[in-house]
Amino acid sequence: MDEPGHQWTCVVGTPAMESERAVSFGSWWAVGLAVLATGAAGMWGCDRGTAKAEPAALATQEAAPAAAAASHRFDEASFKLEMRKAGTYQKQAAAKVEVLLEAKAPYHVNEQYPIKLRLEPVDGVKFDSEVVGKDKVAVQAKKAVMTVGFTPEASGVKRIAGKLKFSVCSEERCLMETRDLALDIDVE
Domain boundaries, the chain: 7-60, 73-187
Which residues pair with residue 184 across a beta bridge? Answer: 159
Length of the chain: 188
User: The domain at 73-187 falls in which architecture?
Assistant: Sandwich (2.60)
pLDDT of 61 > 50? The answer is no
Q: Is the pLDDT of residue 153 over 80?
A: yes
Q: Which pLDDT does position 67 carry in this prediction? A: 53
Residue with the larger pLDDT of the pair 66 and 148: 148
CA distance 131 to 44: 38
* Alpha-carbon distances, residue 49 vs 36, 45, 61, 77, 183 (angstroms): 18, 13, 22, 46, 53
Please report the pLDDT score of residue 177 as a whole number. Answer: 97
Residue 106 in this model has a pLDDT that exceeds 90: yes
Report the share of the chain in percent with pLDDT over 90.
Answer: 63
Read off the pTM.
0.64
Q: Is the pLDDT of residue 146 over 60?
A: yes
